A and B are shown apart, each in its own frame.
Chain A
Amino acid sequence: MGKNYETVIGLEVHVELATKTKIFCGCSTAFGGEPNSHTCPVCTGMPGSLPVLNRQVLEYAIAVGLATNCEITRDAKFDRKNYFYPDNPQNYQISQLYLPICRNGKVEIETKKGKKYVGIHEIHMEEDAGKLIHDEREDCSLVDYNRSGVPLLEIVSEPDMRDAEEVIACLETLRMLIQYLGASDCKMQEGSMRADVNLSVREAGAKEFGTRTETKNLNSFRAIMHVIEHETQRQIDLLEEGREVVQETRRWDDNKGYSYAMRSKEDARDYRYFPDPDLMPVHVSEEMLEEIRAKQPEFRAERIERYRREFDIPAYDIGILTETKQMADLFEETTALCGQPKKVSNWLMGETLRLLKERNEDPEDIRFSPKHLAKLISLVDAKEITGSVAKDVFVKMFEEDIDPEAYAEEQGLKTVNDESALRRTVERVLTENPQSVADYKGGRQKAIGFLVGQTMRAMKGKADPGLVNRMLKELLG
């Protein structure tokens, strides 16, 4: 009792690629659509149909491989993984076993303990399966092949992670690399990124790995953290009881919060992998590799470094702004137009993130243009509109990408700089609020705040609060 255990974790991450068409045919990958409307003889496994590789899939796979420091296999092959299931129209999945496109890479992750590398064992290309729909009332099952043939990357890590924090950091790093590449949107909640967790425990200091289990198809960080916690404890309990961990595949029930065994190693399927004779070996030429290398974007780590040098904004802001390429690009483009990085950052980190969260949207859903945000900032700077009006204009801009200047003009939202009109309003507010005036004169400085508020309200926010303040003080003597 009381032994110290170490958890050893490896990941298999499935990422749905953002190609317009499927991996082996020209059908659309668009989400939704009537069942079986995005299908053809190839992705429904019709007799005599043949697969043809979508080059974009190969390019994305290579780009992700380069971003994760992998060796690119110059003569890769596709293999068939044979198993019967109705969602798999050919009853084999075209995948890569023997010569995957990328091997021996690594990614740097950062946790509270500091930085470390996680090895990437391999990355391979494969096709997704269709979807079974069980009709309880009719007591039958139907199959929709719209997803059949959607391209996937499977990224297999080395067993280099030791706790949930490292696992999440690794997934975040992969997600950001892939999003920066535009290869996938990596949305776990929508299933475009999902992970299998391979986990074993061993006594601290042991050289050999313990027996591992694989928990499949996890689609949230929360589920992954729970699985790591539960599975670690389950395995330690077994070992403490003097029992053995069985090598098996497990499934996590997110609703009930526990995992159960699906199948053990003994009844593991024999997939009878062999090279797909319908597809030629994939040759990656030096030119192709160079072309893809040249197109690689600046990734997050490099951007963080550059932002530190170029922009006078807090490290905290840089961290958040660079989390997605969309946000970082928006920040840079807007700053280039208005030259005020901190103000741009405030709009993005404040109002933009708030509205996204409220609407349950992601940075890639942002519709407003850098040009309009820059203009909004300069309107406030020039005191053409007040800060509170600007927030209202921004909401409109966020929704419809309107030109803030034209909109403020049309809606009559511009600040009133006509001093005589303002003076009339201030005078009226003073006569209407004798108690506050008395309070102020009696030494309660705070009372002026109420009077400013009343004036702003009467001006429908279109006055410069500084000016109102000055004028009040002047009139109150």
Chain B
Amino acid sequence: MSILDYAAAELSRKIKEGKHTAIEAMEAVFERIGEKEEEYRCYITADRESALIRAAVVQRKIEAGELCGPLAGVPVAVKDNLCTKGVPTSCASRILANFVPPYSATAVENLEKAGAVMIGKTNMDEFAMGSTTETSFYGVTKNPVDPGRVPGGSSGGSAAAVALAECFMALGSDTGGSIRQPASYCGVVGLKPTYGMVSRYGLVAYASSLDQIGPITKNVEDAAYLLEAVASYDEKDSTSAPDAERDFAEALTEDVKGMRIGIPRDYFGEGLDAEVRKVVLAAAETLRAAGAFVEEFDLGMVKYAVPAYYTIATAEASSNLERFDGIKYGYRTGDFEGLHNMYKKTRSEGFGEEVKRRIMLGSFVLSSGYYDAFYLKALRTKALIKKAFDEAFAEFDLILGPVAPSTAPKLGESLSDPLKMYLGDIYTIAVNLAGLPGISVPCGKDKNGLPIGMQLIGDCFAEKKLIRAAYTYEKRKAGADAWAKIMRRS
């Protein structure tokens, strides 16, 4: 067994027991990166030397007894839209090429406090806008199961790195499904926390009212530990929740007895791949067998989520991305005539197609004369979607559904038809609009061997229920899979 086979918390235990060191773990990671990066391109920045220095510092602190948390010594990958002091942060965009932040995101500081050791910065869709990690200025990340397919996005680099063991765990960000969908496509666990659970300070904003940072890991236990490490109330983020429960590891118990799980019929209708449907419903059966009460219901409002999301998210993005102008940092065009021309050329050359499309769309919906018809209407729709979930959570503890309508598409298939790509977000984006937590847990494979994820959705700040159900499912499924293997052999 290779050191790379360990899950994060497992590795940390071995390091604390003295069986391995943080340095060995980091060396193994870079060996793996050396083997896989050329084909899969999970990272934008990964510097072996500085990572090993960081690992050595942490190792010393572990030996001195200064670091003893559940993730101490574990190499972690960080999505490239999280500011890291002294380490380039590009958001996979040309416009932030060579931008080195003078400060670290609160989530990154929290990682350091927990003793996790940063490997480098992972690839993503430019400014987190996309579902395939194909819009990165620094190349396309490939799906670990089938390099002819996309890893999902926008946190595709993080999800693929976890699946390829190019890291032990990773941070992603999720604005409309950007953690859960790539986790589903790559066969790993991805958790999008409640809005306000993790500080957004230092997360380069795409859509401020929807963005959340969350873990992408090999299993549910690691997700709980990693979330516990990064989640905090932060005075520097006005939208940070002061009183939320943040002791997630406590929820790592196998117990769903009496838990009420709702299955929205509207998530299993037209557009859902038959194989995905079958596998996700089988997962629901596993939870029922474990003692949960599972029932179908009508959620409603589902078809309005995509238009509401693309109105709100692009509006916010059009404003959030105004600061990238060639004046203060990042890319500036080579030659220009005056200020206006500099702005125009810098932004035309610095942003990619998808980002420009969303800036244009967002600028349009905020324009005078259109604001009420589009932006305000979208905000009202958002409130109605939240209401639909509130009604559902009056009945159920959790909602269970698919993460995406299909398994990972082939490279190049999605960008040619952006509208179709946007519709692929249908099961994930309502969760962001309502500010809810959601988790993607691997639950099977299609006939091509491509991973399928099940999504569990909780009420605001009900992460612990989410983790408990996901943990129970994962254990039961592992047991069942082992049994099936034995049965096949006999």
The residues of A with any CB-CB pair to B shorter than 8 Å are 41, 44-53, 80, 82, 84, 86, 89-92, 143, 270, 272-274, 277-280
Contacts and interface: CB of A to CB of B under 8 A. Distances in A.
Interface stretch (B95-103, B138-146, B413-421): B95-103
Contacts of B371: 272-274
B375 interface: yes
B83 A48 contact: yes
B328 A89 contact: yes
Interface residues of B, number: 44
B105 A89 contact: no
A278 B105 contact: no
B238 A53 contact: yes
A277 B237 CA distance: 11
Contacts of B325: 84, 86, 91
Contact of B208 (A46, A89, A272, A278): A278
A385 B367 CA distance: 74
Nearest to A80: B319
A48 B319 contact: no
A283 B366 CA distance: 25
A47 B319 contact: no
Interface stretch (B3-11, B27-35, B198-206, B267-275): B198-206
B222 to A, nearest CB: 25
Contacts of B207: 277
Contacts of A52: 235-238
A238 B365 CA distance: 39
Contact of A50 (B81, B201, B328, B375): B201
Interface string B374-405: 01000000000000000000000000000000
Nearest to A270: B368
B91 A278 contact: no
Interface in B54-68: none
Given A91-B322, A92-B319, A47 B99 contact: yes
Nearest to A82: B319
Interface in B198-222: 200-205, 207-209
Contacts of A45: 323, 328
B201 A90 contact: no
A46 B99 CA distance: 10
Interface in B155-180: none
A47 B323 contact: yes
A46 B100 CA distance: 11
Most buried by B among A80, A272, A278: A272
A47 B96 contact: yes
Contact of A274 (B239, B315, B322, B339): B315
Given A82-B322, A272-B363, A277-B208, A49 B201 contact: yes
A272 B327 contact: no
Contacts of A270: 367-368
B322 A92 contact: yes
Contacts of A41: 101-103
A46 B103 contact: yes
Given A82-B322, A274-B319, A274-B371, A46 B102 contact: yes
B343 interface: yes
Nearest to B199: A50
Q: Sorted from nearest, which 7 A-B pairs have the closest CB atoms?
A: A91-B322, A272-B366, A277-B209, A277-B208, A48-B202, A47-B204, A48-B83
Contact of A84 (B103, B105, B322, B368): B322
B316 interface: yes
A109 B208 CA distance: 45
B131 interface: no
Interface string B316-346: 1011001111011100000000010001000
Contacts of B89: 47
A47 B83 contact: yes
A86 B327 contact: yes
B346 to A, nearest CB: 11
B238 A280 contact: yes
A82 B238 CA distance: 21
A209 B343 CA distance: 40
B323 A50 contact: no
Given A49-B202, A270-B368, A277-B316, 16 more contacts: A41-B102, A44-B328, A47-B101, A48-B83, A50-B200, A52-B238, A53-B238, A86-B325, A272-B318, A272-B366, A274-B316, A274-B366, A277-B208, A277-B209, A278-B205, A280-B238
Given A47-B91, A47-B101, A274 B375 contact: yes
A48 B339 contact: no
B238 A48 contact: no
A50 B322 contact: no
A261 B205 CA distance: 38
Given A41-B103, A277-B316, A51 B327 contact: no
A66 B327 CA distance: 41
Interface in B98-118: 99, 101-103, 105
A97 to B, nearest CB: 11
21 contacts: A41-B101, A45-B328, A46-B83, A46-B328, A47-B89, A47-B99, A48-B81, A48-B82, A48-B101, A52-B237, A82-B322, A84-B322, A84-B343, A86-B327, A270-B367, A274-B319, A274-B366, A277-B209, A277-B239, A278-B205, A278-B239
Most buried by A among B343, B366, B367: B366
A319 to B, nearest CB: 46
B101 A86 contact: no
A48 B105 contact: yes
Contacts of A82: 318-319, 322, 366
A21 to B, nearest CB: 14
A92 B324 CA distance: 12
Most buried by B among A50, A82, A273, A279: A50
B202 A280 contact: no
A51 to B, nearest CB: 7
A1 to B, nearest CB: 40
A91 to B, nearest CB: 4
Contacts of B202: 48-49
B390 to A, nearest CB: 19
B87 to A, nearest CB: 13
Contacts of B368: 270, 272
Contact of B327 (A49, A50, A143, A274): A143
A143 B326 CA distance: 13
B378 to A, nearest CB: 11
B319 A50 contact: no
Contact of B236 (A50, A84, A91, A92): A50
Nearest to B127: A47
A386 B65 CA distance: 79
Contacts of B323: 45, 47, 89-91
A55 to B, nearest CB: 12
Contacts of B316: 274, 277
A90 B101 CA distance: 16
A285 B203 CA distance: 31
Contacts of B237: 50, 52
